[in-house]
Amino acid sequence: MTAPSTKIQSQPRIILLDVLRLFAALIVVCFHWFFRGPASGDQATNVAVANNIAMYGYIGVDWFFIISGFVIAWTAEGRTALQFALARFIRIYPAFVVCMTLTFVGTLYLQPHFNVVGFKDWCANLVIFAPALGSKFIDGAYWSIVIELIFYAWVFVFLLAGVFDRHRKAIAVIWLAISLINQHFLHSGILRLVAATEFAPWFIMGMMLHDIWKRSFTIVPIVILTTAFFASCATLLGQLVEFTRDYGQEPIQVVVLTLNTIGLILVIACIYAAPKGQFWPRWAGIAGALSYPLYLLHQHLGYMFIDLIAPTLGATSALLLTFILIICVASVVAFLVEPILRQKLTSGLSVILHGSKIVAPVVERASRVR
């Protein structure tokens, strides 16, 4: 019997989604360095003038999830469950391990009192779901990676069952219904985790955008998209109570809802502005590649380095120098380290699974949110 092929055909990239993904990562960086760090006490250095603007930067993570819903729906097309799983694993894991290890080492040697971690925590973070093993995330930003992986796991299950392409709209409706029921009535912690009910509306918006863009401009996906958008707005309003409790400041509802709307509009604009992406300069794709390592590296390493040099250089210079440093390290990871690790991992998995090299390398089809 012939082993199933792991050949993965490349598709055109939507370069503008890469740019939007980087922009979303940058506003999350602003949220952490200018607002969350000082508000939570994780960062002593504070530039108060930026607080009231930066506090809304957490919305960038929700923009990530819309992009992810679109790109994963696109990436899963024409792939088996195994091909999809391998592609996601190879794309996510090498950079995660490198960036997590850098953060771990930085925590130990730059500022050990910042976040007490040990070798056990590093080992637990190797499986990403560290809290499930009774440990802590090396960096608090990893929670969103867990949400992404839950989404990927369900896509894998549906691909395995052979229903993801044929019944995507039905899957979206059922998932959205479960999300609404749980978020507003059941409040089950298990469902919130297993079905990612708090963030389902954004993934569903992305999935329906792909359905509309690639398949047909029909009423059903539009209705699902619209319903998911209003569900996301309700979720954001519900999150404000927790946000105020954690940080002592309450975002303005109109601003939060406006930014959520802008995120959806920007994703739509990027999708339709240049579907094949080759009309855009190469630097746009390069910039997008930085978003994942930038997101993984910026938070705790950023807090520590800013506080380390701020007493000498001042707050503004410390923030600027830290940003340059994180961008440089992220670039090394994205363009030097990760490609080598990804190639070796691809070859190794190919030998294990099939006894021969994969015919074509696993290719990231378009920008994905991390």
CA distance 197 to 175: 8
- Between 144 and 52, the higher pLDDT residue: 144
277 and 15 in contact (C-beta within 8 Å)? yes
162-216 pLDDT tens trace = 999 999 999 999 999 999 999 999 999 999 999 999 999 999 999 999 999 987 7
Are 191 and 178 in contact by the 8 Å Cβ rule? The answer is: yes
For residue 80, give Cα distances in angstroms to 157, 158, 185, 349. Answer: 11, 10, 36, 16
Read off the pLDDT band of 334 (50, 70, 90): very high
Residue percentage of the chain with pLDDT more than 70: 88
How does residue 138 score in pLDDT terms, banded at 50, 70 and 90? very high
Report the pLDDT value the prediction gives residue 338, as an integer from 0 to 100.
92
Instruction: Check if the beta carbon of residue 38 is closer than 8 Å to that of residue 51.
Output: yes
Residue 9 has pLDDT above 50, yes or no: no
Q: Can you read off the two tokens belonging to residue 295?
A: 């997101």
Contact 352, 89 (CB under 8 A): no
For the chain, the average pLDDT equals: 88
Contact 225, 212 (CB under 8 A): yes
Identity at 7, one-letter amino acid code: K
Rounded to 10 deg, the angle between the 253-273 and 15-30 helix axes is 160
Does residue 8 contact residue 360 with C-beta atoms inside 8 Å?
A: yes
CB of 211 within 8 A of CB of 69? no
pLDDT of 109 reads: 83
The amino acid present at 58, given as its one-letter code, is Y
How would you class 216 by CB atoms within 10 Å of its CB: exposed for 0-12, middle for 13-18, buried for 19 or more?
A: exposed
CB 354 within 8 A of CB 3: yes
Give the angle subtended at the CA of 268 by the CAs of 265 and 271, to the nearest 5°. 150
- Residue 64's nearest CA partner among 39, 89, 31 is 31
Enumerate residues 6+ apart whose C-beta is below 8 A from 265: none
Q: What's the confidence (pLDDT) of residue 263?
A: 98
Asked if 338 and 91 count as a contact pair (C-beta separation under 8 A), the reply is no
pTM: 0.91
Which range is most confident: 55-69, 98-112, 262-276, 278-292?
55-69
For tokens 């440089």, what's the residue? 328
> What is the per-residue pLDDT for 366?
37
pLDDT, residue 356, reads 44
Q: Which residue has the higher pLDDT, 1 or 137?
A: 137
Alpha-carbon span 1 to 192, nearest angstrom: 42
CA nearest neighbour of 202 among 290, 271, 261, 246: 261
Asked whether 212 and 222 are in contact (CB, 8 A), the reply is yes
pLDDT confidence of residue 10: 44
Q: For residue 113, is pLDDT > 60?
A: no
Sorting pLDDT into bands at 50, 70 and 90, what band is 350?
A: confident
pLDDT at 88: 94
Q: What gap in Å lies between CA 148 and CA 156, rounded to an integer?
A: 12
Q: Provide the pLDDT confidence category of residue 287 given band limits of 50, 70 and 90.
A: confident
- The pLDDT assigned to 1 comes to 38
pLDDT of residue 304: 92
CA 100 to each of CA 127, 133, 333, 334: distance values in angstroms, whole numbers, following the listed order: 11, 16, 12, 14
Count of Cβ atoms closer than 10 Å to residue 123 Cβ: 12
> Residue 3 phi/psi, 5° resolution?
-70, 145
Decide if 92 contacts 362 (C-beta within 8 A).
no
- Rounded Cα distance between 120 and 137, Å, is 11
Nearest to 73 by CA among 160, 169, 7: 169
What's the confidence (pLDDT) of residue 48? 79
**In the prediction, which pLDDT does 36 show?**
96
Q: How confident is the model at residue 108 (pLDDT cuts 50, 70, 90)?
A: confident
